[in-house]
Chains A and B, each alone.
Chain A
Amino acid sequence: MNINVKNLSKKFNDFVAVNNINFNLAKNKTLGILGPNGCGKTTSIGMMLGLITPTSGEVLIDNKDINKINREDFLGKMNFASPYIELPKKLTVRQNLEVYGRLYGVKNLKDRISEISRDLDLNIFLDKKTGELSSGQKNRVSLAKSLINNPEVLFLDEPTASLDPDIGDFVRNYIETYKTKNNITILLASHNMKEVERLCDTVIMMKKGEIVDRGTCKDIVNRHGRDNLEDTFLKIARSGNEVA
């Protein structure tokens, strides 16, 4: 599954949230989207998931504009995890995974739930209500939901936000291993620069709705004459626009 973003823009009344961005989400690669809060990352992801109608431009999946095809044709091959959206708190973890497994039409659902629960270490709280879990446990459940359909493309919005270093490392390890084993394409939005350096093949930097730089982490760091991605991020975030 190849995703191509072409001249994509989104205006909310007079506010330009995303301004004419172009990039390609290459198959089996991980692309990082970086940028300060309000730079248009979530709006861009929303347009790629078909949740937001672009003002202009296209999101092409295998050369088909997602706004001209049935949403269920492409959404079945994608999934999304974010700490800012949750699963129903009153349902147990197993029930949530079952509900979403059915919505995604997962075959052999019981086996898939067992497999993913084992991999993500969910078994001890599988029959606990989701609302009673710690944030680290909820995060793993959210990740399990996002992988329940074995997606070809996975959108991750700050997957380790608010996690302690141990669980954060567990999640990053898991994503890395899962990607290698299953050859999936990942789009990762994160404010954790070490995570981005570790997981992403290429990165795009956004600011005020525009892409201001792109490339591998090493290229971007070198281009800006900094020692690491965190310093580069700060330089870009605090300077005027430098469109690539």
Chain B
Amino acid sequence: MRWHKIYGLSLRHIYLIRNSFPRILDLIYWPSVQVFLWGFISEFFTVSSTYYSNTVGIILTAAILYDFLFRSSISYNMMFLEEIWSRNFTNLFIAPIKISEIIAALTMTAIIRTLIGLVPAVLLAIPLFGVSIFKLGVPLIFLLIALYIFGISLGLLVTAGLLRFGPSFENIAWASLFFLAPLGCIYYPIEILPNSLQLIAKALPLVHIFEEMRNILINNAINNFQIVKSVLISFIYFSLSVFIFYLAYYGAKVRGTLINIGE
């Protein structure tokens, strides 16, 4: 992999963000709205629920972490869709850039887009609701890594779908995370789910990430095994999604869609 190519492709998206103030505002707007919304909901639970009575901010922390996942996945899809919308797709695929370099560049730029949106929201939550995700301590780093890797994996899978089915797959890009949210046990413990769904949920890293988040905030304890499991499962999904992306790329070459996608 060549750094200058990864940097070049990243620059294309960094320039896009830098050139447009509304785009920056849009990146910041939704995470901040989430913080406001869930901040008030969690305040309500704090005074009304015994389960959450001593753990102010669990829901808000979950909302922020879920948004981190959501933003990283959507950022990935958005950057790929930008190439289709701007009819730049063919230019990109005739450039001497490896598929792995395209994946690396999108992964790198997705974190920048995600952080632009999330950092203000995280900082807003501290004075407004007294909630800081930094209370999770060092495990936060690993939970964020697991979330990011899983978010990127979902992004790659949707991107593979765009390559396979064309821009009509765009709607799936927006809906993909909503399908997973109920099984991810983001705002409630896994025991809430029926037994059959619990089995499926355990195969997702989200359950382990959010269970561990609640474990740290409620019990003040760290379950290293749970953290390692969440990171490992995320990497398994990432490997699988890279494989599917390559399959979609070679399939698109056979169908000839790389030359006329978006038309």
Contacts and interface: CB of A to CB of B under 8 A. Distances in A.
Given A80-B90, A102-B5, A105-B4, A51 B11 contact: no
B254 A53 contact: yes
Contact of A85 (B9, B11, B20, B88): B88
B8 A88 contact: no
Interface string A94-114: 010011111111000000000
Contacts of A74: 96
Contacts of B259: 42-43, 46, 51-52
13 contacts: A12-B256, A46-B259, A51-B94, A51-B258, A51-B259, A52-B253, A75-B94, A79-B94, A87-B91, A95-B15, A95-B19, A99-B12, A99-B15
Interface string B11-22: 110011001100
Given A80-B90, A103-B97, A104-B95, A92 B7 contact: no
A41 B112 CA distance: 41
A37 to B, nearest CB: 13
Interface in A98-141: 98-105, 129
A49 interface: yes
Contact of B263 (A49, A84, A102, A129): A84
A59 interface: no
B2 A85 contact: no
Task: Name the residue in B19, B82, B89 with the highest tally of chain A Cβ atoms < 10 Å from its Cβ.
Answer: B19
A4 B256 CA distance: 21
A180 to B, nearest CB: 25
B250 interface: yes
Interface of A: 10, 12, 17, 42-43, 46, 49-53, 70-76, 78-80, 82, 84-92, 95, 98-105, 129, 145
Contacts of B19: 90-92, 95, 129
B86 interface: yes
Contacts of B91: 80, 85-87, 100, 145
A89 B8 CA distance: 17
A70 B11 CA distance: 24
Given A102-B5, A105-B5, A85 B96 contact: no
A145 B15 CA distance: 17
B87 interface: yes
Contacts of A90: 15-16, 19-20, 86
B86 A102 contact: no
B256 A46 contact: yes
The 10 A-B residue pairs with the shortest CB-CB distance, nearest first, are A102-B8, A76-B96, A72-B96, A75-B96, A103-B95, A46-B259, A86-B87, A85-B90, A99-B12, A53-B253
Interface string B221-263: 0000000000000000000000000000010011110111001
Contacts of A43: 256, 259
A105 B9 CA distance: 12
Contact of A51 (B86, B98, B253): B253
Given A73-B96, A91-B12, 4 more contacts: A85-B87, A99-B11, A103-B96, A105-B5
A42 B88 CA distance: 16
A158 to B, nearest CB: 14
B134 interface: no
Contacts of B86: 86-90
